[in-house]
Amino acid sequence: MPASNITAIIWDFDGTLVDTAGKNFNVAKQIITDLTGKNAESFPIFESLETYNSANRSYKNWRSMYKAEYGFSEEETDEAGGLWTEYQLQDDTPVEFFPGLVGVIKSLKAFPQGIVSMNSQSHIMQTLAENNVSDLFQFIVGYEEVDLRKQKPEPDGLLLCLEKLTGLASGNVFYIGDHETDVKCAANANRALREQKPDVKIITIGALYGSAESGNNSWEPDYRANQTEEITEIIKHFQV
């Protein structure tokens, strides 16, 4: 694609770039078992992968879910978060990019691309390397790069990535995610930018090709991609 007023493209990771549902389910079960001393399946959320995914989508972020589903305190939630990287790197559940998405990413290589996720940066980098796409992403924000209590939907991680990729240059930035939390994060970032950088705008694309429910109208991204290839078509409309 030729140059345009698009300054960067930023992606969520889980459920947007890759299908990590099975891996996250297994990792969460192991963490909860080790921290509580109970069989994880004694918690209703672990009845099935579908139950876990449904619950996960109903909370604004993982911290809220851990407090509500497991009765964790702030300190216990911090401890669980601190174990995530280690347990993910040890777990061998396969993780794959959604069909056609690597081609989409490559078609957008004229633009700086980054990732903002509540997953571990180490795990993200490992997954990118295994799929030979590390060179397509210039900056990655995992949960370690942001205060544990400033995770999405707070805008801190998204603003950090945007600054590193563009220096907050004027123009449009696309943020692609599969969860209402991603849309709220972008809205919070736009509010933060409005006072000092009003000529920077973050546009959201809802990734509906994974576990996101295409019929769910409770969250309102600026655009919706029901297939991975639609992301390219949406962005093309913003070419100068």
- For the chain, which residues make up each domain, given as ranges? 6-19+95-236, 21-90
What's the first-to-final CA gap in the chain, in angstroms? Answer: 11
pLDDT at 212: 57
Arithmetic mean of pLDDT, 190-199:
94
Q: How far does CA 60 lie from the centroid of its chain?
A: 12
Instruction: Please report the pLDDT score of residue 1 as a whole number.
Output: 40
pLDDT beyond 80 at 64: yes
Pairing of strands 96-97, 18-19: antiparallel
Decide: helix, strand or coil at residue 20. Answer: coil
Q: Does residue 77 register a pLDDT over 90?
A: yes
Q: What is the mean pLDDT of residues 206-233?
A: 84
How many Å apart are CA 165 and CA 160, to the nearest integer? 9
Q: 3-state SS string over 219-239?
A: CCCCEEECCCHHHHHHHHCCC
Quote the pLDDT of residue 145: 94
- Evaluate whether 174 touches 196 at the Cβ level (below 8 Å): no
171 by Cβ neighbours in 10 Å (0-12 / 13-18 / 19+) ranks as middle
d(CA 67, CA 131): 34
Q: State the average pLDDT for the chain.
A: 92
Q: Global pTM?
A: 0.87
Q: What is the mean pLDDT of residues 15-29?
A: 95
Cα–Cα separations (whole angstroms), residue 145 to 49, 71, 134, 157, 196: 28, 26, 18, 7, 23
Q: What percent of the chain has pLDDT over 70?
A: 95
Q: Would you say residue 47 has pLDDT above 50?
A: yes
What CATH code would you report for 6-19+95-236?
Answer: 3.40.50.1000
Residue with tokens 């205060």: 147
Instruction: Give dist(CA 30, CA 16) in Å, integer.
Output: 24
5-18 pLDDT per residue, tens:
999 999 999 999 99
Q: What is the DSSP letter of 171?
A: E
3-state secondary structure of 117: coil
Q: What is the mean pLDDT of residues 90-111?
A: 95
Q: Is the peptide bond before 153 cis (omega within 30 degrees of 0)?
A: yes
